[in-house]
Amino acid sequence: MAAPLDLPVAALAAAVKKGDVSATELARGALERIREKSALNAFLHVSEAPVLAAAAEVDRKRAQGEPLGPLAGVPIAVKDALCTTDAPTTCGSRILTRRGPDGRPGGAAAGWCPPYDATAVARLRAAGALLVGKTNMDEFAMGSSGENSAFGPAKNPVDPTRTPGGSSSGSAVAVAGGMASASLGSDTGGSIRQPAALCGIVGIKPTYGRVSRYGLVAFASSLDQVGPFARDVRSAAHVLSAISGADPRDSTAAALPAGDYAGACERDVKPLRIGVPEEYFAEGLDPDVAERVRAAIAALEREGCAVRPVKLAHTHYGVATYYIVATAEASSNLARFDGVRFGLRIEPERASLVQMYGATRDAGFGAEVKRRILLGTYVLSAGYYDAYYKKAQQVRTLIRRDFDDAFEDVDVIATPTSPTPAFRLGEKVDDPLAMYLGDVYTLPASLAGIAGISVPCGTTKARADRPALPVGLQLLAPAFGEEKLLTVAAAVERLAAS
């Protein structure tokens, strides 16, 4: 029998409500697992005192017969890009950590403490969730492997010598490693879907505007989205229900209520039409990944889905377009980290130019963040704006139209999530372009602002150079089409288990 902490989210919340397990017991169990698996480096900060206090409050409410929220007692981890009042928020960066007496930056525990909660975090608290800590990530969400964290990379629980994916690396590891029942990540160009695929769990990138971005430290404001990780589709659906909805503090949050996401997981997949774009099965796709993805699509067809080809002609422009649009927005968003409002504080007596550069070398941005700021500033500069940024926005419109046209004929599009399974830590660090191409299948959906999910669809074959590794199937639906997405994802999950 599974330990209580390993139950699906809904079953765990139900067990707490019935008194079969206490929230305090679950909190202590999660904290113990985090300690046991500290070598995976999933967490930058563990909220031991706050989570135990929250668990005691859940237990008090239950004992007194007060109503409990839908996630009462469920341990959930939060990416360190989301603001929390009871834990530091560092975005995996030295620039948001305080310096010690020696002038050197401290660790993540010495990070900036926000005066408010992100809306998604506040909604989890309101639902009764136990927020166990802040998870590791690529610095300011810029990366595809977790290796850009200033505090060292998180490690894939399937094989700790391999990347868990990025930038929401720690959030994926926390769930895959059993340290939390679910977690929140952020997805700008694939940073939920890609680590979900590489770790063998479920990750949802909601439609842009489905979940409030208030309190999410911005990377690229027209692309960033908050979404959940979980070990099964229905659990991810429950968390998505809790965090979705309009928010008066975020003008980009759609004025739409959450859908019946858990109910969608039980619906019949038979009438749905599945589109398969051949552009996503081109050169560079690992043969084992292609085989597992095509097998999952074939299983859906046997289940009664109509499978048909679709054309997404501008897919091959996705990487170039994304790395112009996203870096341009990053160069603007990160201009606030100037050492005055956030970041390094330099005492007047140490503020000579030479000393300033010496003091900031270890406390400033890492190499990848600098690279993207420089690229973004360049494409926005006079003489290059029209040639690069304006052109990228025009191509972005073409990519969005490709999806609009495809969704006239199909309900959901099925593709690989990542072209390869998890690669070795350090394998691509010195080749930024190879790293960027790891998101080639997730970037177009982000540019279009549509809904996406990665769901496990098997593993690669074990070989002499690598063990069997998880493969993710990416499903895409039109904007605010999360219910159809979850219906198909749940069917994939059931068929894979049968």
Average pLDDT over residues 458-470: 96
Q: Is residue 358 part of a domain?
A: no
Segment 65-75, tens digit of pLDDT:
999 999 999 99
For position 187, what pLDDT does the model report? 98
Confidence of residue 346 (pLDDT cuts 50, 70, 90): very low
Name the residue range of residue 292's domain: 4-334+365-497
Residue 397 has a CB neighbour count (10 Å cut-off) of 12
Average pLDDT over residues 283-308: 97
Average pLDDT over residues 398-412: 98
Dihedral of alpha carbons 234, 215, 82, 436, sign? positive
Confidence of residue 287 (pLDDT cuts 50, 70, 90): very high
Cα(146)–Cα(37) distance, integer angstroms:
17
Catalytic option among 22, 37, 79, 235: 79
Dihedral of alpha carbons 303, 305, 308, 309, sign? negative
Q: Is residue 245 part of a domain?
A: yes
Tell me what the pLDDT averaged over the chain comes to. 93
Q: Is residue 356 part of a domain?
A: no
Among residues 314, 284, 274, 287, the alpha carbon closest in space to that of 415 is found at 274
Segment 145-162, tens digit of pLDDT:
999 999 999 999 999 999
Q: Is residue 283 part of a domain?
A: yes
Q: Is residue 81 part of a domain?
A: yes
8 Å CB contact between 189 and 443: yes
8 Å CB contact between 289 and 419: yes
Average pLDDT over residues 322-337: 94
8 Å CB contact between 178 and 172: no
Q: Is residue 455 part of a domain?
A: yes
Cα(348)–Cα(350) distance, integer angstroms:
5
**pLDDT above 90: residue 345:** no
**pLDDT above 80: residue 305:** yes
Q: Is 191 a catalytic residue?
A: yes
For position 112, what pLDDT does the model report? 86
Among residues 222, 413, 419, the alpha carbon closest in space to that of 312 is found at 413
Dmax over Cα atoms in the chain, in whole Å?
73
Q: Is 79 a catalytic residue?
A: yes
Dihedral of alpha carbons 95, 220, 76, 155, sign? negative
8 Å CB contact between 469 and 158: yes
Write the CATH number for 319: 3.90.1300.10
Confidence of residue 104 (pLDDT cuts 50, 70, 90): low
Confidence of residue 382 (pLDDT cuts 50, 70, 90): confident
For position 22, what pLDDT does the model report? 97
Question: Which residue shows structure tokens 């879907």?
Answer: 193
**pLDDT above 70: residue 114:** yes
Q: Is residue 172 part of a domain?
A: yes
Segment 19-52, tens digit of pLDDT:
999 999 999 999 999 999 999 999 999 999 999 9
Average pLDDT over residues 375-394: 94
**pLDDT above 90: residue 349:** no
Q: Is residue 343 part of a domain?
A: no
Q: What is the 3-state secondary structure (H, E, C) of the chain?
A: CCCHHHCCHHHHHHHHHHCCCCHHHHHHHHHHHHHHCHHHCCEEEECHHHHHHHHHHHHHHHHCCCCCCCCCCCEEEEECCECCCCCCCCCCCHHHECECCCCCECCHHHECCCCCCCHHHHHHHHCCCEEEEEECCCHHHCCCCCCCCCCCCCCCCCCCCECCCCCCHHHHHHHHCCCCCEEEEEECCCCCHHHHHHHCCEEEECCCCCECCCCECCCCCCCCEEEEEECCHHHHHHHHHHHECCCCCCCCCCCCCCCCHHHHCCCCCCCCEEEEEHHHHCCCCCHHHHHHHHHHHHHHHHCCCEEEEECCCCHHHHHHHHHHHHHHHHHHHHHHCCCCCCCCCCCHHHCCHHHHHHHHCCCCCCHHHHHHHHHHHHHHCCCCHHHHHHHHHHHHHHHHHHHHHHCCCCCEEEEECCCCCCCECCCCCCCHHHHHHHHCCCHHHHHHCCEEEEEEEEECCCECCECCCEEEEEEEECCCCHHHHHHHHHHHHHHHHC
List the single range of 96-110, 146-160, 307-321, 399-413 with lowest mean pLDDT.
Answer: 96-110
Catalytic option among 47, 145, 167, 331: 167
Percent of the chain with pLDDT over 70: 92
**pLDDT above 90: residue 295:** yes
For position 102, what pLDDT does the model report? 52
8 Å CB contact between 335 and 328: no
Confidence of residue 341 (pLDDT cuts 50, 70, 90): low
For position 190, what pLDDT does the model report? 98
Average pLDDT over residues 324-331: 97
**pLDDT above 60: residue 79:** yes
For position 393, what pLDDT does the model report? 97
Q: Is 61 a catalytic residue?
A: no
8 Å CB contact between 368 and 138: yes
Segment 246-278, tens digit of pLDDT:
999 999 999 999 999 999 999 999 999 999 999
Segment 164-178, tens digit of pLDDT:
999 999 999 999 999
Catalytic option among 191, 212, 235, 446: 191
Among residues 496, 434, 343, the alpha carbon closest in space to that of 147 is found at 434
Q: How many domains does the chain have?
A: 1
For position 111, what pLDDT does the model report? 81
Segment 194-227, tens digit of pLDDT:
999 999 999 999 999 999 999 999 999 999 999 9
For position 110, what pLDDT does the model report? 72
